[in-house]
């Protein structure tokens, strides 16, 4: 109790404070009470005594009240003090033990506190920092920015960041980079800042960015396409080369899927390669793709998988190269290699046939001619005719073989001239059969031709004749004496069917399957040891295929063979503008009586053939033996038509034609050449020729061509010099 009264009278205690507060309150209460009861005691002389008594009673109550309140408040204050001390201790512990450098800054910019981390980070001691302005610890370049931030922060502006990078200075003068977190604590009226030194991290970021930029430039500058696709095969990163390869503007490939550039036929390949990468394997493969502009190209792709931290497939990194040009070169080389092998085989085959099948007949004919010339006077007319007939047949046989060889060689080189026309197929077959009847009769073979009616077809007549000659000739070769060969022609819907049937040797299944295979020789001796080249049937198939038709064979050993040809586009006679196999009408020749033809030919034998044909149809002629002479004669004479050989000395036929065309664009010029190929025909027409005739000369064909061009009116006059 003594202690209580001591505290009650001690100014700094709470009891004293309560006493000062309650005594005046008690006095006021007593006075109010007395004032209220003044009517009761105002007449009483003992009022003063009563007041004193009341005061005496109030004082103990007041002291008790003060004591009670003091105890209660003292306990509360003690608890508050303990909590405050604990909180302060925790704050100091956090403040001091925090790994980040922390500063408390007064509103006047002076530093009130700093922790050990700040001292360790900067090299300053607390004494060197506390009380100083924070502006002394940063470079001049940062001062304006940070001052503005602090001013706005004190104004509670929302336009300033709570976290930002700044430059600070260590005690040794080093300038470092820090990441600052800052806020204004209004309770303590101070700015709290936390600073982390990120100098090394920034240096690493700069180095990483520089390295990334180098790699980015390297990727951008490389010629190969570079791309990264996600799990959905969608591009998430590309370089300019990839954009160019895919045919899209630079930067526009990102976001697009691979499927957009791949033909549906290659979807399975893309998925298969994707599955291989998902399994963790790198893949390299070729893929045909379609550029954005629709062009088909080929690329070589090398793709590697990437995985996330959990080992899950994340994306594919791919490098791809457009190899279309390389593939085209490879294909061209393969094609050239194949063609070269084919040409070498053709050459070997030609040399073999020339050595065995042409050399003998030509040599024999030459020997027979020599005998005939040397002993001409010793032979009577019948013997002379017989020997000439033998020579004629040998020449025709040799020519047919040579024509087969040339046609076959032309096919191998791809220069075959295909000239379809509308003609009487029935007449054509009749002529082919008629020409082979003597050969059949020599073996006592009956050769018959049957047709329902005249059938017209749009086809290359020369090719059809070659096919017929080969197939009927083979039938004669492989039919025994006294046999029968039947040739039939019939319409089968919109196709024409020609069949050649014999009752000769026949063939087994293996021979039948290899008949039209060029790499497997199929030729064998006939019933009387007739020789063959094995090229005839190959040629027949090529010619029939050229017409979009088919050639098939039915045969059994000892029971003969039946070859069947069908070709499309059958026409009626009403659609035929002319019949090429029919002879020229004689009365049409009178109009040629006053015409002169220039024959440009260096070979005497060819000139004699052309001269005799022109003479037979009442045409005049003149001759030039080379291109230069042809041009000179044309300029000084008046000709109605020119027959121009192509291969000439001094100036070839094409050059001569172009020279003539410089002076006259109307005179008909007919190219006459042994080169029956498309390039030769095209080159002749480009040089200025009006038409094209092949050697050996077909008289009816030549007359037909001459008649066609001499009927045309000349537009411009011939220039004479």
Q: Are 359 and 366 in contact (CB under 8 A)?
A: no
**Tally of CA atoms within 13 A in the half-sphere of 96 that contains its CB:** 7
The whole-number pLDDT of residue 570 equals 47
Q: What is the SS3 assignment for 334?
A: helix
Contact 439, 566 (CB under 8 A): no
Residue found by looking up tokens 């008790």 in the block: 64
pLDDT above 70: percentage of residues in the chain: 74
Question: Contact, 114 vs 101, CB < 8 A?
Answer: yes
pLDDT above 90: residue 369: no
pLDDT in tens, 34-55: 555 554 555 454 555 666 666 6
pLDDT tens-place string over residues 682-714? 889 999 999 988 877 888 888 989 988 886 543
Which residue carries 């000369």 as its tokens? 697
* Most trustworthy range by pLDDT among 399-413, 629-643, 670-684: 629-643
**pLDDT of 2 higher than 60:** no
The pLDDT of residue 19:
61
Can you give the pLDDT at residue 562?
Answer: 94
Q: What percent of the chain has pLDDT over 90?
A: 14
User: What is the largest distance, in Å, between two alpha-carbon atoms of the chain?
Assistant: 210
- C-alpha distances (whole Å) from 121 to each of 101, 169, 174, 567 are 7, 10, 11, 100
Strands 111-114 and 225-230: unpaired
Least confident of 231-235, 456-460, 516-520: 516-520
Mean local confidence (pLDDT), 479-489: 92
8-state DSSP, 375: T
CATH of span 586-710: 3.40.50.2300
Q: What gap in Å lies between CA 593 and CA 708, rounded to an integer?
A: 16
Integer Rg of the chain from CA: 59
Q: What is the pLDDT of residue 102?
A: 86
DSSP 8-state symbol, 504: S
Distance CA 424, CA 323 (A): 53
Please state, in angstroms and as integers, the Cα–Cα distance from residue 602 to each residue in 272, 538, 650, 697, following that order. Answer: 69, 35, 11, 15
Token pair for 650: 């001094």
Tokens 């004591």: give the residue.
67
Q: Is the peptide bond before 580 cis (omega within 30 degrees of 0)?
A: no
Tally Cβ neighbours within 10 Å of residue 14.
17
pLDDT at 79: 65
DSSP class of residue 255? T
- For residue 8, is pLDDT > 60? no
Q: Are strands 669-673 and 641-645 parallel, antiparallel or unpaired?
A: parallel
Comparison of pLDDT for 157 and 578, the residue scoring more = 157
User: Residue 637: which pLDDT band, with cuts at 50, 70 and 90?
Assistant: very high
Higher pLDDT, 77 or 367: 367
Q: What phi, psi does 60 have (nearest 5°)?
A: -60, -40
CA-nearest of 645, 652, 701 to 675 is 645
Q: What's 105's DSSP letter?
A: E
Using an 8 Å Cβ cutoff, are 299 and 286 in contact? yes
pLDDT value at residue 531: 64
Which of the listed ranges 222-226, 253-257, 524-528, 694-698 does the model predict with the highest average pLDDT? 253-257
- Which SS3 state, helix, strand or coil, does residue 465 take? helix
Q: Pick from 34, 63, 32: which is nearest to 46 by CA?
A: 34
The residue-averaged pLDDT of 616-635 equals 92
The average pLDDT across 372-377 equals 82
Cβ-defined contacts of 626-631 (< 8 Å, 24+): 626/600, 626/602, 626/650, 626/651, 627/600, 627/651, 627/652, 627/653, 627/655, 627/656, 627/659, 628/656, 630/598, 630/600, 630/656, 630/660, 631/656, 631/659, 631/660
pLDDT category, 574, cuts 50, 70, 90? very low
The mean per-residue pLDDT over the stretch 575-591 comes to 40
- Band (pLDDT 50/70/90 cuts) for residue 493 is confident
Q: For the chain, what are the domain ranges?
A: 2-91, 98-203, 222-322, 328-393, 417-575, 586-710
Weakest-pLDDT range from 337-341, 344-348, 459-463, 619-623: 344-348
Question: Closest Cα partner for 672 from 595, 614, 591?
Answer: 614
Residue 72 in this model has a pLDDT that exceeds 90: no
What tokens were used for 662? 């410089």
Specify the pairing of strand 456-459 against strand 296-307: unpaired
Contact 488, 467 (CB under 8 A): no
Closest CA to 8 of 55, 56, 50, 71: 71
Q: Note whether 643 and 597 are within 8 A (CB).
A: yes
In this predicted structure, the answer to whether residue 632 has a pLDDT above a threshold of 90 is yes
For domain 98-203, give the CATH number. 3.30.450.20
**Which residues lie closer than 8 Å to 592 by C-beta, 6 or more apart?**
617, 618, 619, 706, 710
**For the segment 249-276, what is each residue's pLDDT rounded down to a tens digit?**
988 889 898 888 888 888 888 888 888 8
Residue among 401, 471, 484 at smallest CA distance from 440:
484
pLDDT at position 624 over 90: yes
Within this chain, domains 98-203 and 222-322 share the same CATH topology: yes
How far is Cα 138 from Cα 160, in angstroms, rounded to an integer?
19
Task: Take residue 386 and report the two structure tokens written for it.
Answer: 């017989």
Sheet of 570-571: strand order equals: 421-424, 456-459, 570-571
Q: Look at residue 569 and tell me whether its pLDDT is greater than 70.
A: no
Backbone φ and ψ of 596, nearest 5°: -120, 130
The pLDDT of residue 576 is 43
Per the CATH hierarchy, to which homologous superfamily does domain 222-322 belong? PAS domain (3.30.450.20)
Mean pLDDT of the chain: 79
| Residue 621: count of CB within 10 angstroms of its CB | 17
Alpha-helical runs (H) found in 175-239: 199-221
User: Strand ranges (DSSP E) for 186-295?
Assistant: 190-197, 225-230, 235-238, 283-290
Is residue 630 a contact partner of residue 679, using CB atoms and an 8 Å limit?
no
Instruction: Flag whether pLDDT at 629 surpasses 90.
Output: yes
Q: Helix, strand, coil % (nearest 5) of the chain?
A: 50, 20, 30
Beta bridge partners of 284: 302
- pLDDT value for 213: 76
Beta strand 561-568 with 495-502 is: antiparallel
For residue 223, what is the DSSP state? S
More reliable by pLDDT, 67 or 150: 150
The per-residue pLDDT for 135 is: 87
Query: C-alpha distances in angstroms, 92 versus 95, 96, 97, 193, 330?
Result: 5, 6, 8, 15, 81
- Domain 417-575 fold is Heat Shock Protein 90 (3.30.565)
Peptide bond preceding 361: is omega within 30 degrees of 0, i.e. cis? no
CA–CA dist 419, 171 (Å, integer): 102
Pick the most confident of 138-147, 324-333, 395-404, 557-566.
557-566
Q: What is the pLDDT of residue 55?
A: 63
The torsion of the CA quartet 439, 444, 446, 447, rounded to 10 degrees, works out to: 0
């Amino acid at each position: 109790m003594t202690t209580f009264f001591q505290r009650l009278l001690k100014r700094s205690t709470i009891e004293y404070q309560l006493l000062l507060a309650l005594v005046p309150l008690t006095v006021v209460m007593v006075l109010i009470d007395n004032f209220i009861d003044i009517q009761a005691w105002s007449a009483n002389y003992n009022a003063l005594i009563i007041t004193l008594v009341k005061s005496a009673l109030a004082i103990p109550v007041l002291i008790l009240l003060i004591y009670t309140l003091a105890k209660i408040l003292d306990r509360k204050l003690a608890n508050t003090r303990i909590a405050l001390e604990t909180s302060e201790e925790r704050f100091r512990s956090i403040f001091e033990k925090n790994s980040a450098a922390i500063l408390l800054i007064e509103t006047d910019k002076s530093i009130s506190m700093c922790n050990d981390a700040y001292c360790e980070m900067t090299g300053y001691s607390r004494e060197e920092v506390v009380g100083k302005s924070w502006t002394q610890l940063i470079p001049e370049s940062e001062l304006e920015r940070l001052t503005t931030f602090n001013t706005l922060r004190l104004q509670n502006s929302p336009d300033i960041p709570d976290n930002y990078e700044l430059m600070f200075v260590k005690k040794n003068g080093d300038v470092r980079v820090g990441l600052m977190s800052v806020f204004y604590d209004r309770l303590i009226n101070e700015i709290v800042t936390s600073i982390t030194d990120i100098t090394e991290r920034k240096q690493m970021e700069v180095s990483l960015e520089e390295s990334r930029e180098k790699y980015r430039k390297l990727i951008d500058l490389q010629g190969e396409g570079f791309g990264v696709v996600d799990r959905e095969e969608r591009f998430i990163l590309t370089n300019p080369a990839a954009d160019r390869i895919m045919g899209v503007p630079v930067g526009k490939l990102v976001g697009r899927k691979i499927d957009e550039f791949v033909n549906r036929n290659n979807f399975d390949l893309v998925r298969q390669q994707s599955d291989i990468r998902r399994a963790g394997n790198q893949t390299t493969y070729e893929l045909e793709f379609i550029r954005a502009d629709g062009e088909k190209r080929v690329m070589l792709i090398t793709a590697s998988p990437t995985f996330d931290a959990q080992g899950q497939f994340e994306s594919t990194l791919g490098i791809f190269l457009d190899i279309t040009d390389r593939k085209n070169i490879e294909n061209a080389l393969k094609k050239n290699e194949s063609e070269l092998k084919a040409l070498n085989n053709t050459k070997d085959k030609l040399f073999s046939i020339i050595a065995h099948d042409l050399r003998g007949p030509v040599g024999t004919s030459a020997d027979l001619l020599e005998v005939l010339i040397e002993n001409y006077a010793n032979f009577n007319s019948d013997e002379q005719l017989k020997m000439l007939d033998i020579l004629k047949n040998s020449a025709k046989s040799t020519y047919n073989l040579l024509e087969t060889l040339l046609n076959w060689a032309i096919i191998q080189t791809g220069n075959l001239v295909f000239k379809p026309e509308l003609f009487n197929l029935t007449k054509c077959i009749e002529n082919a059969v008629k020409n082979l009847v003597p050969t059949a009769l020599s073996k006592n073979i009956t050769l018959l031709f049957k047709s329902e009616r005249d059938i017209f077809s749009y086809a290359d007549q020369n090719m059809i004749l070659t096919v017929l000659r080969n197939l009927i000739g083979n039938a004669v070769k492989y039919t025994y004496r006294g046999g029968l060969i039947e040739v039939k022609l019939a319409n089968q819907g919109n196709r024409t069917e020609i069949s050649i049937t014999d009752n000769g040797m026949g063939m087994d299944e293996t021979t039948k399957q290899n008949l039209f295979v060029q790499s497997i020789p199929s030729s064998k001796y006939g019933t009387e040891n007739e020789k063959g080249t094995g090229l005839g049937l190959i040629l027949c198939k090529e010619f029939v295929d050229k017409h979009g038709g088919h050639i098939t064979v039915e045969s059994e050993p000892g029971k003969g063979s039946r070859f069947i040809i069908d070709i499309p586009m059958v026409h009626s006679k009403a659609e035929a503008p002319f019949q090429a196999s029919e002879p020229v009408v004689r009365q049409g020749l009178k109009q040629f009586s006053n015409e002169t033809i220039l024959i440009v030919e260096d070979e005497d034998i060819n000139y004699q053939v052309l001269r005799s044909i022109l003479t037979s149809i009442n045409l005049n002629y003149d001759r030039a033996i080379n291109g230069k002479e042809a041009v000179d004669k044309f300029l000084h004479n008046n000709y109605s038509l020119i027959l121009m050989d192509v291969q000439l000395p001094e100036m070839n036929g094409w050059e001569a034609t172009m020279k003539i065309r410089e002076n006259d664009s109307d005179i008909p010029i007919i190219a006459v050449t042994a080169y029956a190929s498309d390039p030769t025909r095209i080159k002749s027409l480009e040089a200025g020729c009006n038409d094209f005739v092949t050697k050996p000369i077909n008289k009816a064909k030549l007359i037909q061509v001459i008649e066609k061009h001499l009927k045309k009116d000349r537009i411009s006059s011939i220039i004479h010099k």
